Chain A
Amino acid sequence: MKISSEECICSEDLCDLVSISANQLSELVEYGVIDPSEGLSGEWNFSIQVISTVKRAIRLQQDFDIDTASTALVIDLLDELEQLRTDNKMLKNRLNRFLQK
């Protein structure tokens, strides 16, 4: 079975898939939680990479009882934290290679 990570999904299908309304989706875009793959004008299509971000945003909103603006901030900070952890792990790894004989 062939698979691709570059697949796109339209707004309607994305809403169906994650069980949210069109309004909720456009709020997530407005606050920068996700971006349509071909810019903000015209009909929105999304990379399937955004699906897990949308699911995460909805879980955070429901479980912490927070609005979309706060959710966007939390997701940004969590992504940054993950990136820093990855970088830190990689740099430690490289440092160890350097210090070992």
Chain B
Amino acid sequence: MEFKDYYKILGVDASADTQAIKIAYRRLARTYHPDVSDHHDAEDKFKEVTEAYNVLKDPEKRANYDELREHGQHGQQFKPPPQWQSSGKFTADDFDGSFSDFFESLFEVNSESVPRSGPQTQNHHMRGADIELKMPVFLEETISETAKTISYSLPRFDLNGNPLENLEKTLKVSIPKGISDGEVVRLKQQGSPGVNGAPSGDLFIRIRLVPHPLFDLEGHHLVLTLPITPWEAVLGANIVVPTLTGTIRLTVPQNSQSGRRLRVKGKGLFGKLAKGDLYVVLNVVVPEITDVDEENRWKEMAEKSSFDPRMNLRTKYEN
């Protein structure tokens, strides 16, 4: 078991007063709270900071911990001295999170205390914990109802609230058509099993649409960036364009500029009320000159054409 230096975790001196400890905690909570932070290890950091604060804010527990601290160093292996006796008791009201091994070995954690992710009621009749999962879904899978298999593991607790080995579970679920990014679906009683006959928790699945190599999303509309040649842009063209379900032929009108959006009705994703559209955004791409003949063709056009895309700049800034 690693020794945890709670002072170091909060970034305060061992002589810091309660006020300084509170300020340090509040600032770190603001930085690492999993709901407001995008730090990759925000949740672990926040747990650590909260654990440190819960010990150091209480004079009795702090005195207890200070005594122990003389025997250990942060990050190093640690065993409490044999004559040492914990005087601090923790209950669910003190701390709403899961405790580290280090913490549990130092303080008597009331077995009725309820970790945030653990069982939710007391008196040994405990409803199982709700579980939240993210499920990646491909855009193609939202076009029709799709079956997907999910596997997950469920924390379990015995009658005294002690953790048991996780329960592995596999479920086949059918994703309704038209599901959108960030939506949550609930599978009742597919979460952690309850204790002593109490009902299981629920499973919540948050849908995450996987970015597509070709299509971008605007709500339930799809956007395809379509490269075209300068002559297709000028003369107009009939081009085969991919959609999510196959291909279509698209008419590019004469004199189309780069960035022009062409709407293909009903070829987007399913929305709550109507089907979205596919927007094709034209991107005029200029070829690289690879031989003299080609270069001469462009030179000929340059000599004969009167096209001037900088007309506006000239009238504004020259004379």
Interface residue tally on A, bucketed by range: 20 to 34
Answer whether residue A29 sits at the interface, using C-beta atoms and an 8 A cutoff.
no
B interface footprint on A19-35 (CB within 8 Å = 1, 0 otherwise): 10000000000000000
Given the known inter-chain contacts A64-B33, A98-B283, please indicate yes or no for A3 contacting B175, CB distance below 8 A: yes
Which of the listed residues A5, A60, A101 has the most CB atoms from chain B within 10 Å of its own CB?
A: A5
B283 touches A64 (CB 8 A): no
Cα separation A98 to B280 with both chains bound (whole Å): 12
Q: Is the CB of B30 within 8 A of A101?
A: no
Which residues on B sit within 8 Å (CB–CB) of A43? none
CB pair A98 B185 closer than 8 Å: no
Taking a contact as CB atoms under 8 Å apart, the answer to whether A74 and B36 are in contact is yes
CA distance A3 to B183 in the complex (A): 12
Minimum Cβ distance to chain A for residue B160 (Å): 21
Q: Is the CB of A90 within 8 A of B185?
A: no
B179 interface residue, CB < 8 Å from A?
yes
Query: Which residue of chain B is the closest to A57 with respect to CB atoms?
Result: B35
Nearest neighbor of A1 in chain B, beta-carbon distance: B173
Q: Which of A7, A60, A93, A101 contacts B227 (CB 8 A)?
A: A101
Fill in one digit per residue for B147-190: 1 if any A CB lies within 8 Å of its CB, else 0. Answer: 00000000000000000000000011111100100011111000
Q: How far is the CA of A78 from the CA of B37 in the complex (A)?
A: 10
SS class, residues of chain B in contact with chain A: strand
Given the complex of chains A and B, what is the CA–CA distance between A93 and B285 in angstroms? 18
Q: A1-B171, A97-B225, A98-B283 are in contact. Are A52 and B183 (CB under 8 A)?
A: no
- What residues of A have a CB within 8 angstroms of the CB of B172 in the complex? 1
A4 to chain B, nearest CB (A): 6
Taking a contact as CB atoms under 8 Å apart, the answer to whether A48 and B211 are in contact is no
0 or 1 for each of A29-61: is its CB under 8 Å from B? (1 = yes): 000000000000000000011011000100110
What distance in Å separates the Cβ of A95 from its nearest Cβ neighbour in chain B? 10
- Whether, in the assembled complex, B264 has its beta carbon less than 8 Å from a beta carbon of chain A, the answer is no
Q: How many Å from the CB of B278 to the closest CB on chain A? A: 14
Known A1-B174, A90-B216; judge A7-B225 contact (CB<8 A): no
Name the B residues within 8 Å of A98 (CB-CB): 225, 281, 283
**Nearest chain B residue, comparing its CB with the CB of A89:** B211
A67 interface residue per 8 A CB criterion: no
Contacting pair B29 A64 (CB below 8 A):
yes
A1 touches B187 (CB 8 A): yes
Please tell me which one of the listed residues B29, B120, B179 contacts residue A5 in the complex, with CB atoms under 8 A apart: B179
Contact at A62–B96, with CB atoms within 8 Å?
Answer: yes
* Partner of A93 from B120, B130, B179, B211 at Cβ < 8 Å: B211
Across-interface contacts of B183 in A (CB, < 8 A): 5, 49
The 10 closest A-B pairs by CB, nearest first: A97-B225, A3-B185, A5-B183, A1-B173, A5-B185, A48-B186, A56-B35, A3-B173, A94-B216, A98-B283
27 pairs, CB–CB < 8 Å, chain A vs chain B: A1-B187, A3-B174, A4-B176, A5-B183, A5-B184, A7-B185, A7-B186, A17-B130, A51-B186, A52-B184, A52-B204, A52-B206, A56-B35, A59-B33, A60-B35, A60-B36, A63-B33, A74-B36, A78-B35, A78-B36, A93-B216, A94-B216, A94-B223, A97-B225, A98-B225, A101-B227, A101-B285
